């Protein structure tokens, strides 16, 4: 399995993955396998459960042969998924997300990534931190929701989705900041196609992920985790450095 830091064609060794995630929020996987990625994560993380998992922290994402009964099931369809944070509505989303492509789509199915650090930097050029702190990710079913961007102790945590489960809002009714946020996410998104054995690891408090619509039996494995509490990079469980935004 080959591991590549973001924006770098040179390989990095497994021991440098946490530092690369701390710096860039992203590490690419080439010629990998599910077992290989799980072994890599087991060295410095603990699995985080998900309602759709097959085993601890591991979920197989594949279209299901039944009607989709809500946006929460959209991941198991061939529909597009807008850029989002996994487990965005829980109090503490998992900090590490890894994917491995098992069977690529026949057509479409490109992976979509957005660097929340870049989005935050651009947003802070337009609005002060007090206005940004008023952003919330609110469940469509009602309720106050979670802070969309948390700024605390030199760290930032970004959570986002904009679909039938939850959407961004402002406690002070600042629709201009919500519109700017959506605009910046759309402007900074990038997409790429994963071949079989390709994938990525992202800091789930920083990098949003999604996909384009597709045809065929695309099969992707996703793993969710948190950094071990005693690890030097356990602070990733609280967010990314504001200096990187």
Contact status, residue 145 vs residue 138, Cβ threshold 8 Å: yes
- C-alpha 111/C-alpha 190 separation (Å) is 8
Q: 28 vs 68, which has greater pLDDT? A: 28
The pLDDT tens digits of the residues spanning 61-104 come to 999 865 444 545 788 899 999 999 999 999 999 999 999 999 99
Residue for token pair 């989709």: 68
**pLDDT reported for residue 66:** 59
Q: 7 vs 168, which has greater pLDDT? A: 168
Q: 70 vs 241, which has greater pLDDT? A: 241
**pLDDT reported for residue 63:** 93
- C-alpha 193/C-alpha 236 separation (Å) is 27
Contacts 24+ apart (CB under 8 A), 176-185: 177/123, 177/126, 177/127, 177/131, 177/132, 177/134, 177/135, 178/135, 180/123, 180/126, 180/127, 181/119, 181/123, 181/135, 181/148, 184/119, 184/122, 184/123, 185/83, 185/114, 185/119, 185/160
**94-122 mean pLDDT:** 98
**pLDDT reported for residue 59:** 96
**pLDDT of 46 higher than 90:** yes
| Residue spans per domain, the chain | 2-113+188-232, 116-185
Phi/psi of residue 154, nearest 5 degrees: 80, 5
CATH 3.30.470.20 holds for 2-113+188-232? no
**pLDDT of 127 higher than 60:** yes
Residue 234 pLDDT class (50, 70, 90 cuts): very high
**pLDDT reported for residue 65:** 65
**pLDDT of 109 higher than 60:** yes
The pLDDT tens digits of the residues spanning 158-177 come to 999 999 899 999 999 999 99
**pLDDT reported for residue 184:** 98
Q: 52 vs 21, which has greater pLDDT? A: 21
**pLDDT reported for residue 67:** 45
Percentage of the chain modeled with pLDDT above 90: 86
Q: What is the mean pLDDT of the chain?
A: 93
């Amino acid at each position: 399995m080959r591991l590549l830091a973001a924006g770098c064609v040179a390989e990095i060794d497994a021991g440098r993955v946490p530092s690369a995630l701390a710096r860039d929020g992203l590490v690419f996987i080439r010629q990998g396998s599910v077992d290989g990625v799980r072994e890599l994560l087991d060295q410095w993380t603990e699995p985080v459960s998900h309602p759709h998992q097959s085993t601890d922290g591991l979920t197989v994402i594949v279209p299901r042969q039944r009607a989709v009964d809500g946006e929460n099931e959209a991941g198991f369809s061939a529909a597009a998924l807008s850029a989002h944070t996994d487990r965005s509505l829980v109090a503490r989303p998992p900090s590490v997300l890894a994917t491995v492509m098992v069977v690529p789509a026949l057509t479409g199915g490109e992976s979509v990534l957005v660097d929340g650090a870049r989005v935050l930097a651009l947003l802070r050029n337009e609005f002060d931190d007090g206005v940004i702190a008023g952003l919330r990710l609110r469940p469509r079913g009602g309720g106050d929701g979670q802070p969309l961007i948390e700024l605390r102790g030199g760290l930032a945590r970004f959570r986002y989705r904009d679909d039938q489960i939850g959407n961004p809002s402002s406690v002070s009714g600042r629709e201009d900041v919500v519109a700017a946020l959506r605009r910046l996410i759309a402007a900074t998104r990038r997409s790429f196609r994963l071949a079989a054995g390709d994938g990525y690891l992202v800091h789930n408090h920083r990098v949003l992920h999604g996909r384009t619509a597709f045809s065929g039996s695309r099969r992707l494995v996703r793993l969710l985790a948190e950094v071990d509490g005693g690890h030097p990079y356990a602070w990733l469980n609280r967010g990314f450095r504001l200096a990187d935004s």
